[in-house]
Amino acid sequence: MTKLVHRFHPTVLREYDIRGIIGETLGTEDAYAIGRVFAYMLKARGGASAAVGRDGRVSSPDLEAALVRGLTEGGVDVIRVGLGPTPMLYYAAQTRGVDGGIMVTGSHNPPDQNGFKMVMLGKPFFGEDIREMGRIAAEGELLPAPATGADNDAPDVLSAYVARLTEGLFKTVAREPVVVWDAGNGAAGEALTMVARNLPGRHVLLYADIDGTFPNHHPDPTEPHTLVDLIAKVAEEGADLGIAFDGDGDRIGVVDGKGRILWGDQLLMILARPIIDRIPGATIIADVKASQALFDEIARLGGTPVMWKTGHSLIKTKMKETASPLAGEMSGHVFFADGYYGYDDALYAAVRLLDQLATTGESITAIRDGLPEMVNTPEIRIPCADDRKFQVVTDIAAKLAAEGAQVDRTDGVRVKVDGGWWLLRASNTQAVLVARAEAADDARLAALKGELARVLTAAGVEVPAALAV
């Protein structure tokens, strides 16, 4: 019997994945321990094989090597799917007959950070699973010492994944779009280059070469400043729309022909229409950061809106519980179970959007013109230490409850008032609090921002300029 004792840095074991700063809170010894304990947990649940992928970060090859060593020494057979987006790893886990999957990725975090996203036996590996992983490692639980597992490459996964993205789509093309794509030097670049060749219309690619230093801009399409080049290129090309991805290709950003950003809730309004037409009453899930206008629009279309917790693993789990065909988050994660596998895949979401536009001949700019107007803030990220952020939200919730406020605790604090609402929650991936507010008019929005500033000040958190009235 081999005894493993390993203590992870307290900040890296997050609610639905593992994230840390390379050389400070996360390294190859952690990757090895993750592989070894994941193997132990997988075998205890009857599994024996796993797919492993990695993004383009400088640290990813070393982390992948240590991770695979841990998995194989734990007796699990590994297939390496190689460099690519996180959804490609999910695709391999669904289609290659394996029992689990681990993606080495820092997602949308800065270049000096990295992490791991995991699935086991067809389900997201998160929450209590990750906490159990930490306990097993720290307590030095006796692990079996089976024969070493196999370590094999699966070089054909990328081409199979790309082919799957367009399967069954573009049967009717009423209008061929002009599209600008921005891969942001992220892990989706090669897959994007391949799939764009097979799409109707004209396609212009920005930053499709994979470079883990992200030399052109930070790979997070929820940050407006990262979309500046995309918006400029859309104007230059006279394009119908622009599409951007985050660092590992599971989050999408969209701009229309006028350069206006379509946020996650607006995109979900558009994507939900044909699904609800085919499936009346369909459950459409969105996270707590989404606009009330989205939930109202889903109901108006004849669907069943559900507000749920932020987090890709949490949303995927809720989709299975409710048999939802479509879900989305403000952060740009879009989940299709309708015709697909139910995980977040920005490339697939983009292809489905283009299929919808090509089939109907509609302009996304015209669609955007017809969406309900929303007077709101974007996501406001407020620095707050990882070891403090959750307690801040808990304290604010208790104070508001004592004041008699109408508080929804689905995820963080969402406070509903006449003519609007505001939200404050702790991020599960960064050392920040996330705030958002929406109102019927500018005056009411200013009042809600003032209320947010009040509760933050009382909690000892510095109020950001974005909440200045």
Euclidean distance between CA atoms 83 and 129, whole angstroms: 26
Q: Which residues contact 198 (CB under 8 A, 6 or more apart)?
A: 162, 166
Distance separating alpha carbons of residues 353 and 359, to the nearest angstrom: 10
Q: Which of helix, strand or coil describes residue 223?
A: coil
Q: Any idea which residue has 């960064």 for tokens? A: 430
Q: Are 243 and 206 in contact (CB under 8 A)?
A: no
Bridge partners of 403, per DSSP, are none
Q: What are phi and psi of 245, to 5 degrees?
A: -125, 160
**With contact defined as beta carbons under 8 Å apart, do 364 and 262 qualify?**
yes
Q: Nearest 5°: phi and psi at 264?
A: -55, -40
Whether 107 is catalytic is yes
Tokens at residue 180, please? 């600008």
Q: Which residues of 160-193 are buried (b: 16+ CB within 10 A; e: fewer)?
A: ebbebbbeebbeebeebbbbbbbbbbbbbbbbbb
* Cβ atoms within 10 Å of 284's Cβ, excluding its own: 28
Rounded CA separation 96/444 (Å): 53
What secondary structure does DSSP assign to 308-364, as a single string? E-SSHHHHHHHHHHHT-SEEE-TTS-EEE-SSS-SSB-HHHHHHHHHHHHHHH---H
For residue 191, give the H/E element and its range: helix 189-196
Burial class from Cβ neighbours inside 10 Å (0-12, 13-18, 19+) for residue 223 reads middle
- Active-site choice (59, 60, 107, 331): 107
Task: Kindly list the catalytic residues.
Answer: 107
